[in-house]
Amino acid sequence: MLSVLVCLILLVLLITWGKINSFLAFLVVSLLAGWLLGMPAGKIVGSVQHGIGDMMGSLVIVICVGAMLGKLVAESGAAQVIAASLQDLFGVRYIQWAIVLTGFVVGLPLFFDVSFVLMIPLVFSVVYQYKLPAVYIGIPMMAAISVTHGFLPPHPAPVALVSEFHADMGLTLLYGIILAVPTIIVAGPVFSRTLKKIPSHPLQTFLPKQIPPDKMSGKASSFFCSLLPVLLLMTGTLLSLVLKGRPRIIEWISFFGSPVVVMIVSLTVATYILGLRRGRRMREIMEHYSDAVKDISMIVLVIAGAGALKQVFLDSGISAQLAESLGRLSLNPLVMGWMIAAIIRIAVGSATVAGLTAAGMMAPVIVAGHVNPNLMVISVGAGSVIFSHVNDAGFWMFKEYFNITVKETFLSWSLMETIVSLMGLFGVLLLNSII
């Protein structure tokens, strides 16, 4: 634990005090962490490469294609149309609630990273259109996505926990939604009131281009192209549930419903509807796409660096050691499950790894019948999202997209995640006393 603490402090100092590029700082600290944690010298570099490859393999296509889609939405005027429609529906005063509702609906079927990338252009379009503080508008959206990611099936960690604890998927989802509503409200719109003074100048690639009304896309095409990835992914999820007894069909649904294929299909459709059909030339559209990738290239590298450090922590066995030590404590099982997941999350950085590691420790308690398995799923899930910091890719995605400092990211993103986690634990204990 001392070695982990030294590495995390060094990482923060290199970036903030030393002004070292974040990607380079991650590489240096990852190599040092492997040595301090006793990994064989010959395996440290391999672990770093493995971590970068795993992280990029799952994210680089989605992030880059998502940036291209966001750039096209901004350049075509679709973002302007969406922002105006949201204002007409909710008014500027209640625009946060529109973002929260959209974030929750989008976050239900999608992975965290995919939801983040899809929602960012919409958030920034509202920010630029109505001159609102970016972090103040963005945090409620992130709270909604984070809650769905940590609490609710069909996300990977909650689904795996349901299986591990032999819980009921329907009841877990019901309890999760009951707890999600107050958690999102407190961690989102309520907490964000304290963040209005954080200066933020989001990436210019998502700045909506001001286009005369007669040349803008219609409402239907603007919303359709922006939300098409969500619609396709939700359709794929529903079809998988309905047709789960037909493996050959499920195989094709899994292919066309994968985030990579969905993003490519969505970009292709948007290229035609928002670009070619509006009289834009292909060369002009491709230039926008090139600019979008250039703008987010450093984000991709920073996330890759976070993956390297996470993999070193995993390969060193630190998460397993933490779980074994904490498992000997005498606590309420729901609190213990939450605490094991929380400490592993803080040390390792991965919510999924933290949840699954805690599940392995708490499974015998569930078998003994000492706790409600449905609530244990939510408790462990809540613990797994606490205090995202420098070893979590989500921390750096939020920082780089919103273009704020490390300190400001701690004060906004990290605190929001901690509020989500604590609200989840409180809600679980309250429900446990009632049911």
Residue pair 119/145 in contact by the 8 Å Cβ criterion: yes
Whether 207 is in a domain gets the answer no
Count CB atoms within 10 A of the CB of residue 179.
24
Helix boundaries (H) for 215-332: 219-242, 247-256, 259-270, 282-315, 318-326
Q: What is the pLDDT of residue 250?
A: 84
Q: What is the pLDDT of residue 386?
A: 95
Q: Domain count of the chain?
A: 1
pLDDT score, position 103 = 85
Q: Which residues, given as ranges, of the chain have pLDDT below 50?
A: none
User: Residue 433's pLDDT is what?
Assistant: 94
In a domain, 111, yes or no: yes
How much is the pLDDT for 405? 93
- The residue with tokens 């590029």 is 21
Residue 382 lies in a domain: yes
Determine, yes or no, domain membership for 210.
Answer: no
Tell whether 186 is covered by a domain.
Answer: yes
> What does pTM read for this prediction?
0.74
Q: Give the whole-angstrom CA distance, residue 118 versus residue 350.
A: 21
Measure the N-to-C terminal CA separation of the chain; round to a whole number of Å.
Answer: 38
> Amino acid identity of 328?
R
d(CA 1, CA 103) in angstroms, rounded, equals: 36
- Is 209 part of a structural domain of the chain? no
Give the domain extent around 266: 2-201+215-434
pLDDT of residue 369: 65
Sequence-ordered list of residues with C-beta below 8 angstroms from that of 322, at least 6 positions apart, any chain: 1, 340, 343, 344, 347
For the beta carbon of residue 354, count every other beta carbon within 10 angstroms. Answer: 30
Determine, yes or no, domain membership for 249.
yes
Query: What's the rounded Cα separation, in Å, for the pair 283 and 289?
Result: 10
Helix then strand count (H, E) for the chain reads 21, 0
Whether 208 is in a domain gets the answer: no
